[in-house]
Amino acid sequence: MKGLIASEWTKLRTVRSTMWTLGLTVALGIGLSALATAETRAHWATMGPIDKLTFDPAQTSLIGVAFGQLIIGILGILVISAEYGTGTIRATLSAAPKRPKVLLAKVAVFGAVALVVSEVVAFLSFFVGQALLTAPATHATLATPQALRQVVGSGLYLCVIGLFALGLATIIRHTAGAITAFVAVLLVLPIIVHALPNSLTHDLIRFMPANIGNAISAAQPGSSAFSPWVGFAVLCCYAVAALVIGGVLLARRDA
């Protein structure tokens, strides 16, 4: 297992797409957060008193994380789909015929990298955003109630979304197909749920990954959302389910 993990680490660091996607996740995450907080600060004077009172400075500074999920998801997909696309998977599985272990090594290496990058994005976004929210705008510190949970949770959300994407790609095996499915789950599924009768929407919308992420990044989750950690547990179930199905298929299918 040690060798497999070392091998996956070599694979990840020896292709350019890793640096591109991780760099873009960081840049886009922090950039959009900075944009959102600076924009709020610029319009602070014209905001109504209720808006000012309900303003969630931590969540506003974490807005970029929601965009980062699309890119880190693509990296999670490429971790396995690129092997199918290039034929490297045959070499990988010849070297390590115990296939579920290969997937486990991928989860460990990509998961660790994604976790570090995700938390970096979350914390930097938070600090940059709060620095831009100069007085008279309200800003948060890590000591502000819920703020630490919002920041750490957003990073965890980003990492687990990446692992979910890896699981999807293990099932689908094609880069384009996996990206389509991933984007459909994140962006299209909520639109479909919103088109359902109101009572159904109310019951189902909380299960959407984006809504879970939103609840995690907010100081006060909305009325039709899971509480942050329940939502996170649900999200972990999605990732585990995708990875387990992917692992079973990987072991059974012809490579």
Partner 1 sequence: MIEAKGLTKRYGDKLAVDQLSFLVKPGIVTGFLGPNGSGKSTTMRLVMGLDMPNSGDVTVNGRHYHDLPWPLHEVGALLEAKAIHPGRSAASHLWMLAQTNDIARSRVDEVLDLVGLTQVAGQRAGKFSLGMGQRLGIAAALLGDPEVLLFDEPVNGLDPDGIRWVRNLLKNLARQGRTVFVSSHLMSEMALTAEEVIVIGRGRLIAQTSISDLTSQSSQSFVRVRSPDSARFRTELEAEGATIVVESDGALTVRGADEVEIGELAAKLGVVLHELSPQQASLEEAFMELTEDTLEYRNKETTSAMAASKGTS
* Binding residues vs partner 1 (CB under 8 A): 3-4, 6-8, 10-11, 14-17, 82-83, 86-88, 90-98, 252, 254-255
Residue 185 and residue 204 in contact, taking contact as beta carbons nearer than 8 Å:
no
CB closer to partner 1 out of 54 and 86: 86
CB closer to partner 1 out of 18 and 201: 18
CB closer to partner 1 out of 20 and 229: 20
What is the C-alpha separation between 35 and 32, in angstroms, rounded?
5
Least Å from the CB of residue 95 to partner 1:
4
Least Å from the CB of residue 25 to partner 1:
19
Least Å from the CB of residue 13 to partner 1:
9
Non-local (6+) Cβ contacts of 180 within 8 A are none
Least Å from the CB of residue 113 to partner 1:
15
What is the C-alpha separation between 94 and 114, in angstroms, rounded?
27
CB closer to partner 1 out of 97 and 222: 97
Q: Which residues of 103-131 are buried (b: 16+ CB within 10 A; e: fewer)?
A: bbbbbebbbebbbebbbbbbbbbbbbbbe
CB closer to partner 1 out of 2 and 136: 2
CB closer to partner 1 out of 17 and 54: 17
The count of C-alpha atoms lying within 13 angstroms of the C-alpha of 139, restricted to the half-sphere facing its C-beta, is 19
Least Å from the CB of residue 9 to partner 1:
8
Helix axis angle for 88-95 and 63-86, nearest 10°, is 80
Instruction: Please name which of 56, 69, 162 lies closest in space to residue 113, comparing C-alpha atoms.
Output: 162
Least Å from the CB of residue 122 to partner 1:
29
Least Å from the CB of residue 105 to partner 1:
9
CA 253 → CA 80, 99, 100, 173, 193, distances in Å?
A: 15, 10, 12, 11, 33
CB closer to partner 1 out of 76 and 209: 76
Structure token pair of residue 144: 């502000």
Helix (H, G, I), strand (E, B) or coil at 208: coil
